[in-house]
Amino acid sequence: MLAMPKDLPQPQVKPNAEVVLQKRYLRKDADGNVSETPRELFWRVASAIAAEEGRYASSPWSVASLAREFYDLMTQWKFLPNSPTLMNAGTPLGQLSACFVLPVGDSIEEIFDAVKYAAMIHKSGGGTGFSFSRLRPKASRVGSTGGVASGPVSFLRIFNTATEQVKQGGTRRGANMGILRVDHPDILEFIRAKEKEGEFNNFNLSVGLTEAFMQAVEDDGSYDLVAPHTGKVKERRRAREIFDLLVTKAWQSGDPGIVFLDRINRDNPTPDQGEIESTNPCGEQPLLSYEACNLGSVNLARFVLPGHKGSAGVECIDWEELARVVHLAVRFLDNVIDASRFPLERIAETVRRNRKIGLGVMGFADLLYRLEIPYNSQEGLNLGERLMAFVNDEGHKASMSLAEERGPFPAYDTSVFPAKGLGPYRNATVTTIAPTGTLSILAGCSSGVEPLFALCFTRHILDGEHLLEVNPWFEEALGSAGLFSHELMDSVVARGSIKDMEALPVHLRRVFVTAMDIEPVWHLRMQAAFQRHTDNAVSKTVNLPHSATEEDIRNIYWLAYKEGCKGVTVYRDGCKSVQVLDTGEGQKERKTAEMSMPTSGVRERPDIVSGFTQRVTTGLGVMYLTVNEVDGRPFEVFATIGKSGRSITAKAEAIGRLVSLALRSGVHVRDVVAQIKGIGGEHPVFRRKGLLLSIPDAIAWVLERRYLKDEPPVGVTDLQEQSCPECGEVLVFQEGCLICPACGFSRCG
């Protein structure tokens, strides 16, 4: 590593970013103690990536001068590479890519090779994508043994179990994407794979839609289901039946998502090397088998000219500086390919043959706030498309410039590569809009091209203290209007939005919208605006209110197809049995909807019942849980905590009554536990075998320990894990994944 210059400035790190750096990025010694500073981290990365410049005699940069440029780029929060690069550049591990795609062939040997390779990748800190479309359908004959095949979904379960056992980079389980073509005979089983809670919790699932299928949907026609191992038609299905099932499952739970395979392959820059069958775990990076992602993001919020606001939009952007940063970022990402050590030699060969990079953006919502432009407006769409067109054009110019210095990527072929009349490129792809959950915390900006999920929220810190986190541009706007107060902030936290706060000026309510304020069609249109100028794909979630209908989702899917998106992820607020992030308004809406639900028969209470009372320490005090039984099964529960009359006591009593109602109505105790286990609260406490997160979580713990001790542990699905397993904060669903806005934890790696 280059010697650190004495005049190297210290990075200005916000408290949130400092916590994330210490937890995830700063190197640690053998005892787990932090052994480097943020300044040392960014110099380690900058110097390691700049050192690759020495390979190229024609480079206009010296290694030392480029390292300083890279350092300034990162510490001024204008550009950051993906997390593995920050973690591993300049270290013995040296694995700098975030995600990979592996093939799954139609033989036991190929299937378990893929399991083995995935474990190696997860161990090194990467995530994996797979297509299971090559596997013969369930009940097909297996010629070598005379047996019958168990089908893609059964093998998907093996991959999921293997992932469960391997922690990613020594910290958490790896993430996976599983894709099955819509014309595979087992497609119905695949679409329904996550109906049972807790199944495939280490996978995102997507159905690969073809244009033939979409045309059949439009015409209300039928299409062929084809056995991949023989090429023979197994049956025909009405396309709308399958499409409607996809819509229903998305309405119920958000799973599975959809990707448009034909559209992805039309943009495949190296079709001579094969068809693209899968993507990385969040869906934004379609890749050939044995390819890897190499991603980074430019922080758009850093390119506003001083003193500019309002509707001028384009005139407020420092285009010259943005172009400079894009060119440096492309050089950085191309160097990362040379610097990275890959888990498999086959991956190293494929990556270096095509040299794909994915430069994306973050901070877009903050940029709109700064310019006082609503996200859900034509002006917002126009600015988003203009910005991405610029980043894409400048990125390709930078790749052409590198090709002149270093030569084009080895697989470049003028007969198939869409050069658009320009010279050869250094990189087969240049742009991708990837999730930036943790990176955006470091940079102090909004994530990707998503709107903010909340303008402010309460962060829980040590000893029960609370810290209010407020979006800086919202705080500045309130301050300028003389409206900022802690009472107002408490109200915003409770509501989750300011859209109905009539005490605030209309202009502020139009500009400072959050994800759930925005009509779904605007989410989709924004995704399409960025997709039109992105080589790969866009990671984005279309958020829908709880009241959204299946028809709303059907319209979003169809609009995504017509607008040229390469896939789409929808999430209907509260669609899982336990909500991920709940606001007061969302609760009110769901209560109205659920009042009309029919009730089942409730058993009468016998005159005499017996049971037990257990003392449980919770973060809100000691709870005494009494469970009465009938015929050896739980029949009713009573939870008491604290002094009579306190609101906490009332909540505990209410939870007990509802659990009792469920048990007396015949609901199995396992189903009750599945509903309330894992619900997060403000004050989690440690027990010998883990955390008790809240009063309902403590009730679940008692019931499971007493009545389900001889059964497998009750699973908690991804969307039921309301609280971050690392810091206890509320998780949010955006960019196709569950992420923690407080510490950067992500269920997708």
For 60, 63, 334, 427, 440, the CA distances from 57, given in Å and listed in that order, are 9, 11, 16, 19, 35
Whether 563 is a known active-site residue: answer: no
Examine the residue annotation and report whether 724 is marked as an active-site residue of this protein. no
- Closest listed residue to residue 200, CA positions, set 175, 180, 183, 181: 175
Which residues lie across from 374 on neighbouring strands? none
329-348: string of b/e by CB count within 10 Å (b at 16+)? Answer: bbbbbbbbbbbbebbbeebb
Give the end-to-end CA distance of the chain in Å, rounded to a whole number: 28
Instruction: Name the helix (H) or strand (E) containing 44.
Output: helix 38-50
Q: How far apart are CA 135 and CA 278, in angstroms?
A: 14
Residue from 540, 447, 582 nearest 257 by CA:
540
Burial, 607: exposed, middle or buried (Cβ in 10 Å; 0-12, 13-18, 19+)? Answer: exposed
Question: Helix or strand or coil: residue 486?
Answer: helix
Catalytic-labelled residue, pool 52, 53, 197, 284: 284
CA gap 628, 608 in Å, rounded: 10
- Asked if 724 and 743 touch (Cβ cutoff 8 Å), the reply is yes
- Distances, alpha carbon 294 to alpha carbons 85, 171, 263, in Å: 9, 21, 22
C-alpha dist (Å) from residue 121 to 91, 161, 282: 17, 15, 16
Q: Cite the DSSP H helix spans in 125-194.
A: 152-165, 187-191
Q: 10 Å Cβ neighbour count for 386? A: 16
Q: Which residue has the tokens 């010629």?
A: 143
CB 456 within 8 A of CB 470: yes
Q: Is omega for the bond preceding 256 within 30 degrees of 0, making it cis?
A: yes
Instruction: Give the relative orientation of helices 108-124 and 152-165 as an angle to the nearest 10 degrees.
Output: 30
Active site residue 53: no
**Which one is catalytic: 176, 280, 299, 628?**
280
Strands 176-181 and 127-131: parallel
The one catalytic residue among 201, 202, 282, 316: 282
E strands in 515-606: 541-544, 567-572
Residue partners of 656: CB distance under 8 A and separation at least 6: 625, 637, 638, 639, 699
State how far the Cα of 34 lies from the Cα of 29, in Å rounded to an integer: 6
CA 412 to each of CA 264, 270, 353, 403: distance values in angstroms, whole numbers, following the listed order: 19, 8, 9, 11
Q: How many angstroms separate the CA atoms of 176 and 1, rounded?
A: 34
Grouping H, G, I as helix, E, B as strand and the rest as coil, residue 459 is strand
Q: Which two tokens stand for residue 206?
A: 């997507």
Give the DSSP per-residue string, 415-451. Answer: TTS--TTS---SSS--B-B---HHHHHHHTS--TTPP
Cα 629 to Cα 83: distance, rounded to the nearest angstrom: 51
The Cα 339–Cα 45 span in angstroms is 11
Q: SS3 letters for 398-421?
A: HHHHHHHHHCCCCCCCCCCCCCCC
What would the two tokens of residue 195 be? 């109906």
Q: Which residues contact 534 (CB under 8 A, 6 or more apart)?
A: 360, 388, 392, 431, 432, 433
Contact 152, 111 (CB under 8 A): no
* Residues paired with 572 in a beta bridge: 544
* Ramachandran quadrant class, 510 (left: phi over 0; alpha: psi -120 to 50; beta: rest): alpha
> Catalytic amino acids?
280, 282, 284
